[in-house]
Amino acid sequence: MRPDAYTDEMNEPVHTGQATASKRASRGEGARGQDLPRTNDPARTTAEILQVATREFAAKGLAGARIDEIAAATRTSKRMIYYYFGSKDGLYLAVLEDAYRRMRSIEADLHLDDLEPMAALERLVGFTYDHHRDNEDFIRLVMSENVQQGHYLAQSPRIHALNLTAISALERLLARGVASGVFRADLQPLEVHSFISALCFFNVSNRHTFGLIFQTGLKQDKASILSRGQVIDALVRFVAR
């Protein structure tokens, strides 16, 4: 698909060529020739677009998000966005990939291999709890893609590789814990990862409905169904020998 093949919210093709879009993008012009902030830093431009698009897609979902609003917030143009991402769907997929990439990148810096197994597990669970609590956009994006039945992530050639690091890190951690006698020997990395994700994700995704249905009186602005300590303790009990 040509990088400028779409210009409206319904991904309708237009009849202008790629050369025109590229020329305008390089001059810093919008779809109608208006001046835009000039930039010689495509990486910064795409990063800014992804940041704003993350908020837009998280708040309104794929159908409700508007490329016009993303363009206005980044002081660029729809055509420039399509030049970089190809289409609204392409931008949405890039946002999903970027959300997972950022999480796994931080996760890789936890240095779990340098800690004793139980301490490493506690750090990993604590990180996941904090990340989900403080990044509600990530939770909303994942929920939105589940509504789409994973349709867009299924088109990503990178999403599997991006998330393999989470399982491989857990595999090493569990092996060390078993070898030192502190973890059960029947644990599988994917099930432990699922347990961590389930508790930390639910804590954010369901806080509004849970609080209303059961009248818990919990604050709605932050995850608080389960405390950080409770989630860590639950995982420690789950893996302990």
pLDDT of residue 123: 98
What does residue 76 show for φ and ψ, rounded to 5 degrees?
-125, -155
Q: Are 3 and 21 in contact (CB under 8 A)?
A: yes
Question: In whole numbers, what is the pLDDT of the chain averaged over residues?
Answer: 84
- The reply to whether domains 18-86 and 96-239 share a CATH topology is yes
For the domain bounded by 96-239, which CATH number is listed?
Answer: 1.10.357.10
CA atoms within 13 A on the CB side of 218: 20
pLDDT in tens, 114-127: 999 999 999 999 99
What pLDDT score does 221 carry?
A: 55
H-assigned helices in 34-158: 42-64, 67-73, 78-85, 88-108, 117-134, 136-147
Q: What string of pLDDT tens digits covers the 241 residues of the chain?
A: 333 333 344 443 333 333 333 334 344 444 344 444 445 688 999 999 999 999 999 999 999 999 999 999 998 999 999 999 999 999 999 999 999 999 999 999 999 999 999 999 999 999 999 999 999 999 999 999 999 999 999 999 999 998 999 999 999 999 999 999 999 999 999 999 999 999 999 989 988 888 788 877 665 556 568 899 999 999 999 999 9
Q: Note whether 136 and 75 are within 8 A (CB).
A: no
Three-state DSSP class for 214?
helix
Q: Are 93 and 99 in contact (CB under 8 A)?
A: no
Q: How far apart are CA 5 and CA 17, in angstroms?
A: 8
Phi, psi angles (nearest 5°) of residue 33: 90, 5
Q: How far apart are CA 8 and CA 241, in angstroms?
A: 57
Residues 15, 31: Cα–Cα separation, whole Å = 13
Q: What angle do CA 73, 35, 92 make, to 5 degrees?
A: 35
Please identify which residue in the block is written with the tokens 């779409």.
6
C-beta separation of 7 from 14 below 8 A: yes
CA pair distance 200, 128, nearest whole angstrom: 7
Q: Give the fold, CATH level 3, of 18-86.
A: Tetracycline Repressor; domain 2 (1.10.357)
pTM to 2 decimal places? 0.79
For residue 160, the Cα-to-chain-centroid distance in whole angstroms is 13
Token readout for 221 is: 């602005």
Contact predicate 79/24, CB 8 Å: yes
Residue spans per domain, the chain? 18-86, 96-239
13 forms bridges with which residues in the sheet? Answer: 6
Q: Which of 134, 116, 62, 126 is nearest to 94 (CA)?
A: 62
